[in-house]
Structure 1
Amino acid sequence: MWRPETFRKVGIFFNVQVSNCRITLIVVGMGFSSFSESYIMGHTSAFVAGLFQEKEELQLTDDDISWIMSLMFASMVLGTLLATLITEKLGRRIPVVIFNIPVLIHWFMLYYGQNKYVFMVARLLAGIGFGGILPMIYMATAECSSPKMRGFNLAIITTGTTAIGATVGWNLAILLDWRTAALIGTAPTVISVIIPLFCVESPPWLASKGRFDECEAAFTSLHGLKPSAQKELQLILEVEKSKLSNSDKNTNTVSLIIRRLKVAASKRYFWNLMLLTNIITIYKMITGRILFGTYGMIILQKMTGQSDILPYTLAISGINIVGSWFTSYILKKVNVRSLLFPAGILNSLLLIGLSICLYVIPESYDNSLLVWTKVMLYIIHLSIVQVVLFPILEALPSELYPLEIRGACSTIVAFIGTVFIFVILKVTPAMFELLDTYGVFTTNAVAMLIFLLYLWIKLPETKGRTLHDIELNLKNEKCVFKDDNMSPELTKELI
């Protein structure tokens, strides 16, 4: 005969399973959005190469193709700005749905497009959707995950699904053609629109709006009644109630965001945080993934002297997919800093070694062993970037921004990053012409080592800490991470 204690244990078991299912649904939903966006990046390289091949038929110039390629990155900042305004009103789920719609339209425009203006508008729409979705999926995943699982869940979003999406997009565009691959790209985007409609809203966002009962219900549905979860919930409620009591009742979204930014800008931690996150963003952009996404096929063709690079792309794809899921598991066990810095140093050294090979070995030198040496160095470099560096650097800012200005901070950093990447993509052809491939790689490697030194000094460890713990400790530079919560007096003072 069952005792009351047995019924209680069974109830807890089923509660945990249901909670896990809800979190899994969020990760799967955000994962499909991440897959869709990385599919765009994988498709872009073949798309650009295809435009060069068809430029006479489509009446395109090299400058037209450069603009078509760059416009997506230019419009990303508009998407991030719109996301900041929309998420303040609608939360995290609905903006993901909204910003996937222009991505869906962009795929149809690429498939049917026959002139540069259609392609330019399509890429503008892709940038708006891309720029709006990325901060949303990182925020939603980070805010709905427990401290123990946050790194793992973010790794799935930034590493696992990203690697698969880029691989599928790139190889489909090579095996079929870029138009057919664009049509296939509509499928994951449609799924990305549907799944978030059935997900739980972010508990921290609900608390920041003063909807504390809904926050408590959402948090409990995601994390259950475990003591550690309830302790985190109480910290969220305490911090957000203190913020709410100290804020004015201005309901105008733009005015509220500006007021919060003014308050934050008067404090030293904000400028330290802006510098740190901008360094992270710029470092992420020069690691090599974006360069490979736009000029990868051209670089490989030049490096190998072959037009058929499918074996090399399959090798890169296989390593990236296997490695990405391995990294997701490793991030569950290992601190971020312990993984980031060794990988960053190794990546820069590999790039310098590759540059020396490219400089010493002439392109005309026909030796399969030497060609494979260059290609393997490049593949290992790309694998470290795709599997370790880019995912970590992509997810880190979403853990560092304070909740009340998280969207605004994302917009500021995205704007600076977008300007940087737009300039880089526009000057990259000239850099290749002036410095050659080995010169560009060497410049990137040296810059990455400098940024890595700064991050070694300034970047805090975030693994195993609640987002509110990270926020409060960043606001108090003298405070060291501790296992127990701060006193209510210190919490209120920092807020």
Structure 2
Amino acid sequence: MTSNETMPEPSDSMPKKGLRKVRAWGLWINLATFLIGYATGVIAGALLYIREDMELDSGQQGLVTSILLLGAMAGAMATGNLAERFGRKKMLLTAGVLFAVGFSLAALASGFWLLFFGRILMGLGVGVGSALVPTYLGEISPAQIRGWMLTLNQLLQTVGMLVAYVVNLIFAANGNWRAMFWVGAVPAVVLALIAMRLPESPSWLITKGRIDDAKKMLGSVAGEERADEMIAHQQQQADERRRERGDSTPEKSGWRGLLTRRVRPGLIVAVGLAILQQIVGINTVLYFAPTIMEQTGLSAANSIIYSVIIGAVNLGMTIVSLRLIDRAGRRPLLMISLIGMGISVAVLGLAFLFELSSIVMLICMLVYVSSFAVGMGPVFWVILGEVFPSDHQAEGSGAGSTMSWLSNFAVSTAFLPVVGLVGTGPVFLIFAVISVIGLIFVYRRVPETKGRNFDEIEPDLQARAYGSAKS
């Protein structure tokens, strides 16, 4: 049994009360992703006033912004092994504490270095949350609502970013950047407190031999009889894996285990989508929207308002994805998303090259963000929780999250210098070509995972990677 098999699968096999309970757990767990969005979005408005109060030079401003991404990479890399050792609950608690201390230090900062350290801690929280949440949600979710649950990851992150923009707008009148950070500390404390009351992942409990605890958790949502069946099934699957590799051959654990023949196809999908999600250029639009809009001839005086508009569109289309993910499936949404992004960003590039109307450019940006939000944005996080076996789920999610933040950092850092070198139009045309490459990758490598468990997904992964299903 895998992380995606810890709940009953037929739609009538879990009581409605149990489904409601699992959905509630998912919302609380996703406070971590709300904080990811808030931490990445709040600096855009706060920095406008921090740089004056602290007299920061351009290098310090860049460090305060980008250090969060580096912290996120470090946090994501460490989370897989730590989550396997200490459990999902404790790592969620850790994320809450990191966020709470990070926001508090930033709010109290009287100079650059305390602010810098606060942003590092926020970044570590971002990394822990981004790597942990797909694993945790995948392991507590039944297949019929797993897509919905995992899409909450992107939805709450989008909500967090939009809330940050609105909070920035509220406090912009008096330039109170400290209040912008204090607002973030409140849900961080709530997350830490809630984490202590959430259930532990049943998959993790079973791998640690805590069968009675796993049965109690599963029984609370599925009933004792079904809980016994699921636990027996997981133990049977573990026995089969041991027989396949031979009892005398220990299975590789940790990061090394991701490179085994059994796990590598899922790793290729996760890492490939993680890189694509960023190098299609979405964060150049989300982070640099005011700068891009200024080039259309519009005023940049209301840059925060522009960010709110982009954030609202992003949120709205993510909600659409939430409704479609378990109906349309993962592959169709990914392919529609990449087609929409490729066309809109290509037209945007041509609009810059041929100096077309600013209205055309703005429409292209909105279509581009909408296309991302309905597919590439949320579906990556869904698939990240579905293409790894339970014994490598935490490390796999950590690898995917790490590559996502690394690619984010690389693209965000390189965007403005490359624009200065070759121009805005050609850069957007490059993003269009990448979208086409991404479409080919999804068609060839990414299986449909809707309503399927890992033992059903695995042969498809193996066939796409090696040309034939695993025997």
- 1:460 corresponds in structure 2 to 447
Q: Deviations over 1:82-131 (max 9, x none)?
A: 32232112221221011221111111222222332222212211111111
1:184-333 correspondence runs (5 A): 184-224=183-223, 233-243=231-241, 259=253, 261-262=255-256, 265-267=259-261, 269-303=262-296, 304-309=298-303, 312-333=306-327
Select the residue among 86, 90, 104 that pairs with 1:90. Answer: 86
Q: Is residue 2:390 matched to residue 1:408? A: no
Deviation at 1:327, TM superposition (A): 1.6
1:345-494 correspondence runs (5 A): 345-361=339-355, 370-471=357-458, 474=461
- 2:117 corresponds in structure 1 to 121
- 2:6 corresponds in structure 1 to none
Q: Deviations over 1:160-180 (max 9, x none)?
A: x22221111112213313432
**AA in 2 matched with 1:204:** S
Against the structure 1 CA distance between its residues 19 and 299, is the aligned structure 2 distance closer, same or farther, given a 3 Å change threshold?
same
- 1:28 corresponds in structure 2 to 27
Against the structure 1 CA distance between its residues 415 and 331, is the aligned structure 2 distance closer, same or farther, given a 3 Å change threshold?
closer
Larger deviation: 138-147 or 63-72? Answer: 63-72
Deviation at 1:347, TM superposition (A): 0.9
Contact 2:23 2:149 in 1 (8 A): no
Deviation at 1:258, TM superposition (A): 6.0
Secondary structure, counterpart of 2:15 in structure 1: helix
Q: Is residue 2:330 matched to residue 1:336? A: yes
Contact 2:135 2:397 in 1 (8 A): no
Whole-Å separation in 2 of the counterparts to 1:417 and 1:232: 33
**AA in 1 matched with 2:280:** T
C-alpha RMSD of matched pairs (Å): 3.1
Whole-Å separation in 1 of the counterparts to 2:92 and 2:219: 23
Against the structure 1 CA distance between its residues 216 and 114, is the aligned structure 2 distance closer, same or farther, given a 3 Å change threshold?
same
Secondary structure, counterpart of 1:97 in structure 2: helix
Whole-Å separation in 1 of the counterparts to 2:90 and 2:146: 21
Contact 1:257 1:405 in 2 (8 A): no
**AA in 2 matched with 1:272:** P
- 2:165 corresponds in structure 1 to 170
- 1:142 corresponds in structure 2 to 138
Contact 1:336 1:463 in 2 (8 A): yes
Secondary structure, counterpart of 2:209 in structure 1: coil
Larger deviation: 218-227 or 131-140? Answer: 218-227
**AA in 1 matched with 2:187:** P
**AA in 1 matched with 2:278:** M
Contact 1:48 1:294 in 2 (8 A): no
Contact 2:103 2:182 in 1 (8 A): yes
- 2:60 corresponds in structure 1 to 64
Whole-Å separation in 2 of the counterparts to 1:306 and 1:418: 28
Structure 2 residue runs without a partner (length 5+):
1-11
Secondary structure, counterpart of 1:200 in structure 2: coil
Q: Deviations over 1:381-421 (max 9, x none)?
A: 11222343211113312211222222223344444444433
Q: Deviations over 1:295-338 (max 9, x none)?
A: 23332333323312455444333333332222211112111111
Secondary structure, counterpart of 1:128 in structure 2: helix
- 1:153 corresponds in structure 2 to 149
Q: TM-score with structure 1 length normalisation?
A: 0.82
Secondary structure, counterpart of 1:176 in structure 2: helix
Contact 1:171 1:313 in 2 (8 A): no
- 2:181 corresponds in structure 1 to 182
Whole-Å separation in 1 of the counterparts to 2:312 and 2:395: 37
Q: Deviations over 1:48-84 (max 9, x none)?
A: 4445xx35x4232222222222211112222123322
How many aligned residue pairs are there?
451
Whole-Å separation in 1 of the counterparts to 2:387 and 2:413: 31
Whole-Å separation in 2 of the counterparts to 1:243 and 1:41: 41
Whole-Å separation in 2 of the counterparts to 1:284 and 1:121: 28
Larger deviation: 143-152 or 383-392? Answer: 383-392
Against the structure 1 CA distance between its residues 356 and 93, is the aligned structure 2 distance closer, same or farther, given a 3 Å change threshold?
same
Whole-Å separation in 2 of the counterparts to 1:257 and 1:90: 20
Whole-Å separation in 2 of the counterparts to 1:297 and 1:113: 27
Structure 1 residue runs without a partner (length 5+):
1-12, 250-255, 363-369, 481-489
Contact 1:207 1:240 in 2 (8 A): no
Contact 2:45 2:304 in 1 (8 A): no
**AA in 1 matched with 2:328:** V
Larger deviation: 85-94 or 295-304? Answer: 295-304
Secondary structure, counterpart of 1:399 in structure 2: coil
**AA in 2 matched with 1:138:** P
Larger deviation: 400-409 or 317-326? Answer: 317-326
**AA in 2 matched with 1:131:** G
Whole-Å separation in 1 of the counterparts to 2:431 and 2:161: 22
- 1:39 corresponds in structure 2 to 38
Larger deviation: 174-183 or 312-321? Answer: 312-321
Against the structure 1 CA distance between its residues 257 and 22, is the aligned structure 2 distance closer, same or farther, given a 3 Å change threshold?
farther
Whole-Å separation in 1 of the counterparts to 2:334 and 2:121: 33
Contact 2:281 2:411 in 1 (8 A): no
Against the structure 1 CA distance between its residues 376 and 309, is the aligned structure 2 distance closer, same or farther, given a 3 Å change threshold?
farther
**AA in 2 matched with 1:129:** G
- 2:5 corresponds in structure 1 to none
- 2:3 corresponds in structure 1 to none
